[in-house]
Amino acid sequence: MNIFFFQLAVLSTAISAQVQYGVSTLDCEAWAKKDRWLAASEGLPLVLGARPEEWAGLMAATECAAAAREIWTALAAQLGVGVEEDPPIAPIKLRAAAESLGLMLPPPLAAVLDFLARVLPTGRETNEEDAQTVVLAAQEREILLGAALLLVTRMPERCVNELGYFDSARVATLIREKSLLWFPLAPPSLTQDEIARLIAKWLPPQGSD
């Protein structure tokens, strides 16, 4: 397994040195909308944190190409495909194969795929409409948590209960009251109670001073 850590270190160093090749959260959201990735030309770069459309440029570096070939050889064997093949494959299958080799997906991609796995029924393939829905839902939750952080920082006196502890219900009420600040086009899809439950997961429990 050490060989993969070494190869990953080589690739990570090269990607860090050429920031334009790094896969971003927006990239990951776009790729998560696809049912299948081409295993070698799309899946491998994504697993290694690079943009598939710029993979060839990164591979121009000899040390990167050699490391990538070693990793792809092992990954192809795990997937049961030939090293010269580039078949379409489900992201979840590629992820399982990569992680079985000790290769971890870049955090933005792992987060999006984790979210899809939680909200989609077991065994159901991700299509573009599904992915768009869950990505938007993730973005809404991110905005809601950001709004909650802003409110407890700027208006703490309106976010605590009679005992002086942060109260998720009060924060949710404030967010709904001021929703135009964060949701100018339409109110959030979550109800006030749902927002409160979301915020409660991130607030310290009462009595945890």
Q: Which DSSP string corresponds to 98-122?
A: HHHTTPPPPHHHHHHHHHHHHHSPT
Which among 135, 132, 146, 158 has a CA at the least distance from the CA of 182?
146
pLDDT at 16: 45
pLDDT at 124: 46
pLDDT at 193: 92
pLDDT at 1: 43
Using CA atoms, how far apart are residues 169 and 36, in angstroms rounded to an integer?
41
Handedness of CA 117, 187, 143, 171 (dihedral sign): negative
pLDDT at 78: 87
Instruction: List 89's β-bridge partners, or say none.
Output: 37
> Which amino acid is present at 157?
E
Query: What is residue 1's three-state secondary structure?
Result: coil
Query: What is residue 149's three-state secondary structure?
Result: helix
Q: What is the pLDDT along the chain (209 residues), one digit of tens a residue?
A: 445 555 555 565 555 454 344 667 667 777 877 878 999 999 988 888 888 888 888 777 656 777 788 888 888 988 999 999 999 988 888 888 888 777 777 777 787 777 666 655 444 444 555 555 656 677 788 889 889 988 988 888 999 998 888 899 999 999 999 988 898 888 888 889 999 998 888 776 665 55
